[in-house]
Amino acid sequence: MTPESHAPTGTDASRTGPPPGCPAHGLGPGGLHRLHESEDLGALYEQLRDEHGPVAPVLLHDDVPMWIVLGHAENLHMVRSPSQFCRDSRIWNPLKEGLVKPDHPLMPHIAWQPIASHAEGDEHKRLRGAVMGAISTIDFRSLRRYINRSTQAIVNRFCEKGEADLVSQFTEHLPMAVMCEILGMPDAYNDRLVEAARDALKGTETAIASHSYVMDALSRLTARRRAQPEEDLASYLITHPARLSDDEVREHLRLVLFAAYEATTNLLSNVLLTVLIDPRFRAQLNGGQMTVPEAVEQSLWNEPPFSTVFAYFAKQETELGGQRIRRGDGLLFAPLPANVDPRVRPDLSASMQGNRSHLAFGGGPHECPGQDIGRSIADVGVDALLMRLPDVELDCGEEELRWTASIASRHLVSLPVQFLPKPQQDVTETPNHNHVPAQRSDWQIGSVQPRLQPAPAAPQPQPQPQPAPAHPHPQSPVAEPVRRKGVWPRFLRWWRGY
């Protein structure tokens, strides 16, 4: 695909450029839209769908041509057809033609690497088999308990203040704490590692140094586990029959860490925002009609953690969505527009409860292998946070919320909240089944908790003469026995680690 192949006929090259503020400022050669110049990618995707159908031509930085796949069915066909499309950018026409420079902003995402997400055939089976084998050793019941303890420890940092920014103080920290435990380097988790990961993913001027900081930690972990394997994902990658080299182990640890961290941070932020601002979710969660996992799935439909994924490449000349795709053309896998394809979601306000056919985690041979980890972090983390801070509410107007957006994803900048100050909890306490006082039920999540007013002092009654007892032997009052909680509530408390 080249921009010229889609240029409209009858253009006048001598015309002056568009005036400032004109939408044509986002257009490049051939009248194609530059994705990186759009201020509202969601609206642009719908415009492209109207103009071109489920597959549309666009431009990346430096006017590099690319297709974006907007349709749900077309995205599924692409990721499930390894005989037609692959992840090996070495066959990409613009790269072979020298249109993509080594310093291209998207080169870190597109450049081929010897990792499972870029490999094919037997090599893909070997590398992905090692990753899947390592993930299969995770005890998810123990993992959920660790997520709960990590949530309590993080909430302890701000629970006594009565206010917090849930993005910078919670959603950016919980995934990193959990991933460090899974990989086998819990001692490496700290604020510096969180900042380095965020900086490396943002592509700032210090991104290279931040990336090196993370890679140094992963290199040290690989060397330690090569010498002394333990019960963690790094050790299982090293001891897997696929015999991964140290470089392969380190690169796959990097892939798992960054992908899981970025996706889960966005997912946590999106779910918490939905719970706080959407009255339907608050009512359903409180009323028992919708669980937190169901709220997570709805969020995966409406705001997938990754808007697009770089990239797939045509191995042969083919057709997709009514467009002629040449061998070596690049295509963006795009979960965000695919999830709102009117052919699968004609009514965007309708609940998607129980429907997991969204494309938030991809599909086909390269489907995200760690999606169950991300779901667990979101499910347990949001549930535990709401249990600790049930009166949490947004501390700003909804219109004041800000996002940073790129072609790949959209990040909530901050999520300021307020709540009644809560005491810290002992995160090392062993779960028990002691009687728990009844909880207040006259308010909802996200609403202001009613404040109890002290009752006026009642006048002291004057002592009155007591009548003689009717029975010769007075009976002492018997306290009503405390009713033990049922089996199901006690099981839930044990499962969640409370």
Nearest to 94 by CA among 2, 168, 180, 186: 2
The residues with which 313 forms a beta bridge, in sequence order, are 86, 330
Question: Which positions ≥6 away from 228 have C-beta within 8 Å?
Answer: none
Task: List C-alpha distances in Å: 400 to 84, 282, 413.
Answer: 45, 21, 11
Domain 132-302+341-418, CATH class in plain words: mainly alpha
pLDDT for residue 294: 85
Written as one letter, the residue type at 402 is R
- The pLDDT score that the predictor gives to residue 197 is 85
- Burial environment of residue 63 by CB neighbours within 10 A (0 to 12, 13 to 18, 19 or more): middle
Encode pLDDT of 406-442 as tens digits: 888 888 999 999 999 999 988 875 544 444 445 444 4
DSSP string, 405-419: E-SS-EEE---EEE-
Q: In 228-278, which ranges are continuous DSSP H helix?
A: 233-239, 246-277
Q: And the tokens for 127?
A: 């590398």
Instruction: Fill in the DSSP letter of residue 365.
Output: G
User: What strands lie across the sheet with 393-394, from one edge to the other?
Assistant: 163-165, 416-418, 393-394
Q: How far is CA 68 from CA 5, 43, 55, 78, 455, in A?
A: 16, 14, 6, 11, 65
Single out the residue of 277, 266, 273 nearest to residue 385, CA to CA: 273
* Backbone phi and psi for residue 385, each to the nearest 5 degrees, phi listed first: -65, -45
pLDDT at residue number 450: 52
Query: Can you give the pLDDT at residue 491?
Result: 59
Judge whether 151 and 381 are in contact, CB under 8 Å: yes
Low-confidence ranges of the chain (pLDDT < 70): 1-26, 202-205, 280-289, 429-498
Give bridge partners of residue 33 from the DSSP assignment.
27
- Domains of the chain by residue range: 132-302+341-418
Please provide the DSSP assignment of 289-317 as one string. Answer: SS-HHHHHHHHHHHS-S-S-EEEEEESS-
Contact 307, 367 (CB under 8 A): no
For residue 148, give every residue at least 6 positions away whose Cβ sits within 8 Å of its Cβ, in sequence order, or none.
380, 384, 496, 497, 498
Phi, psi at 148, each rounded to 5°: -65, -45
Return the pLDDT at 407: 87
Give CA separation, 259 vs 30, 31, 157, 417, 452, in Å.
Answer: 35, 34, 26, 27, 46
C-alpha distance from residue 329 to each of 61, 62, 95, 314 (Å): 16, 16, 10, 5
pLDDT (0 to 100) of residue 97: 92
Q: What is the CA radius of gyration of the chain?
A: 28
Question: Which amino acid, residue 243?
Answer: R
Q: What is the pTM assigned to this prediction?
A: 0.79
Residue 14: its pLDDT value, please? 34
Q: CA distances (Å), 285 to each of 279, 288, 402, in order?
A: 10, 5, 26
- Our measurement of the distance from residue 200's CA atom to the centroid of its chain's CA atoms, rounded to an integer in Å, reads 17
What pLDDT shows up at residue 467? 52
What one-character-per-residue DSSP string does 429-492 give? PPP-----PPPP-SS-TTSPPPPPPPPPPPPPPPP-PPPPPSSSSPPPP-PPPPPPPPHHHHHH
pLDDT of 286 = 64
Q: DSSP secondary-structure letter at 268? A: H
Tokens for 334, please give them.
Answer: 């795009």
**Per the structure block, which two tokens stand in for 299?**
């969020």
Asked whether 172 and 198 are in contact (CB, 8 A), the reply is yes
